[in-house]
Amino acid sequence: MKRALKSPVLNAVCVSLFSAFYTLVYILIERPMYVALPMICLTVVVVIMLLVRRQRFDEYHATILSNCLIAALVLTMIAIAAFYLLIIFDPIDIDKKFGIFIDIHWVTVVMSDFAYVVLCRRR
């Protein structure tokens, strides 16, 4: 796992596939693109910043990435709990609630990866 966290190319591929999947979901469920477009742009920025760096990350940077991913995981778990509560208390418009969950999940993952790239550039 640590070896995978040290590879900037693998990180770029993962965040690209993640964003491509959610872009496809946005197109298929016909959600408004006001959240998707900034996330796509931010993903492109993150991927470019990752690919410009040709060196593998060291242990320190792998620790930063794991902390960013843990933060994204915690926020996603909170979003899942809120999603279930929304469905339990008001089962109407479940597709809109699912869309809000997608928004929150996409934003947390891409923003955590962006925070990682910025922190690694700074140090």
**Can you give the pTM of this predicted structure?**
0.84
CA 44 to CA 61: how far, in whole Å? 21
Residue pLDDT, tens place only, 70-90: 988 999 899 899 999 989 998
Give pLDDT tens digits along the chain (123 positions). 667 888 888 889 999 999 999 989 888 887 788 888 999 999 999 999 989 977 888 888 888 888 888 988 999 899 899 999 989 998 888 888 888 888 888 998 999 899 888 888 776
- Say if residues 46 and 59 touch (Cβ distance below 8 Å): no
